[in-house]
Amino acid sequence: MHQEQKVSLVGLLVWAVCALFFTYEFLLRTVLGTFQHPIMYDLHLTPFSFAILSTTAYMAIYGIMQIPIGFFVEKYGIKKSLFIAAIICGMSVIGFALTQEFKIALLFRMLMGLGSSFGFICLLLAVYDWMPGKNIGLMIGLSQLIGTMGPMLAAGPLNSLALDSNTPWQSIFLGLGFFGLGLTILILLFVKNNPNIIAKFKIIEKSSSVTSDLTKLLSQKQVWLIAIYSALIYFTIEYLSENEGKAYIELNGYSSRFASYMITLTWLGYAIGCPIIGFLSDLLKRRKLLMSCAALIAFFSIIVIVYYPISRNILIAAFFFLGIGTSGQSIGFAIMAEQCSKSYLAAGLGLNNAIIALLTAINAPIIGWLLDYSKSTATVLSLADYHFGFTFIVILIGSAFLLSTLFIKETFCRTTKEFTVLYYNRSSKE
């Protein structure tokens, strides 16, 4: 049990700045997809090399660094960690905007992933250190909702800004880079650790061996199945935002503006779906059922998007429900927590996040390679090429449905209070 926190202006400011950085890093994660064609043209890229640049370079570093960054944040605190992260993100985006070589751009994209890997962990720590325990679930859900504003802004609004003002992508990225550096001022002014908190956020319990806990975690079959489900169901929304989604919609005869807002609509569906599906899983005490339903919604939505984009209204509905379906990924964190022992709970959540990032990094270039392979006799991609390459996405979502239906076991839902206690440990003897 921990001393109950009360909402304070200082705490809200700390949380707000951390949420703003999370939104910013989420925007950086997906923004390359909005400017795919000009970036590919200027850097002389193929669909495969663009997937490596946009997704793999970012997500691989992001995933690998989740647990190490957790230890770093625990040791140095939110303020120093977030300050370093904002500098890394800001400078790397500026560098990316100024480069004209693929290898250098790849390096800066990896640095974006490194800086961004601090975002979610710092936000969690801010919530647990500054917010009342009874509102932890609400604040985390609200934080994720705010975070999705990043990819929503990265699609339609940024594309419209570029089109209306005839602004090149390099200038947009320079602006984003300086915005990131500007965040450092807010971090210095408002972010700090809570000096009055008795409980201390634990990345991994120190009362037991880290090696022993990780061994127990990695030996659980259900943990791996949950993490793989989360990665399979989430990949589609990430891929369409960062890579070929906008280009595919345009090839079906729709405008660049409409295509960009379809990506924004998908993230809106995701933002709405996360709290709704989470609430229903709590209410019904059934994680597995909601995971399967979400995968089924995503499966039928992607079928329509890939094979039957016959009208604007149908596409609008399909992209929105695709976002609803992919939000089933959020249940993965809840059911993962219910599978893990207290001593390695945080490691389990970190593993879930890492597998999502790493499988996204692997799957994106696979689709890029399939598209390159399919257009071996043509100079540009055709709808047939996309149907061939995007079949891989259909298979991934179908696999997520099978995993959740046939292999993942149901768990008993814990209350918010029980879940919260796992993250706290008294610093004084009682």
pLDDT at 246 over 80: yes
Domains of the chain: 9-421 (1.20.1250.20)
Closest to 30 (Cα-Cα) out of 233, 353, 267: 267
- Mean pLDDT, residues 361-375 taken together: 90
The Cα 404–Cα 381 span in angstroms is 34
Please give, one letter per residue, the 3-state secondary structure of the chain: CCCCCCCCHHHHHHHHHHHHHHHHHHHHHHHHHHCHHHHHHHHCCCHHHHHHHHHHHHHHHHHHCHHHHHHHHHHHHHHHHHHHHHHHHHHHHHHHHHCCCHHHHHHHHHHHHHHHCCHHHHHHHHHHHHCCHHHHHHHHHHHHHHHCHHHHHHCHHHHHHHHHHCCCHHHHHHHHHHHHHHHHHHHHHHCCCCCCCCECCCCCCCCCCHHHHHHHHHCCHHHHHHHHHHHHHHHHHHHHHHCCHHHHHHHCCCCHHHHHHHHHHHHHHHHHHHHHHHHHHHHHCCHHHHHHHHHHHHHHHHHHHHHCCCCHHHHHHHHHHHHHHHCCHHHHHHHHHHHCCHHHHHHHHHHHHHHHHHHHHHHHHHHHHHHHHHCCCCCCCCHHHHHHHHHHHHHHHHHHHHHHHHHCCCCCCCCHHHHHHCCCCECCCC
Q: What is the pTM of this model?
A: 0.77
What does the pLDDT look like over 142-196, one tens digit per residue?
777 788 888 778 767 777 877 777 889 999 999 999 999 999 999 999 998 776 6
For residue 133, the model assigns a pLDDT of 61
Start-to-end C-alpha separation, the chain: 11
Q: Which residue has the higher pLDDT, 413 or 351?
A: 351
Residue 53 tokens read as: 């640049």
Which one is predicted more confidently, 359 or 194? 359
pLDDT score recorded for residue 294: 95
Task: Give the mean pLDDT of the chain.
Answer: 83
Apex 274 CA angle, 269 and 276, nearest 5:
95
pLDDT of residue 200 exceeding 70: no
pLDDT at 342 exceeding the cut of 70:
no
Torsion of CA 37, 43, 45, 48, to 10 degrees: -90
Q: Which phi-psi region, left, alpha or beta, contains residue 46 (left: φ > 0; alpha: ψ -120 to 50)?
A: beta
Give 20-49 pLDDT, tens digit per residue: 999 999 899 888 988 888 999 999 999 899
Residue 344: the pLDDT is 66
Mean pLDDT value across residues 276-283: 81
- Note the Cα 352 to chain centre separation in Å: 12
Whether the CB-CB separation of 67 and 344 falls below 8 Å is answered with: no
Beta bridge partners of 426: 199
State CA 35 to chain mean position distance. 19
381-429 residue pLDDT tens = 899 999 999 999 999 999 999 999 999 988 754 444 444 444 444 333 3
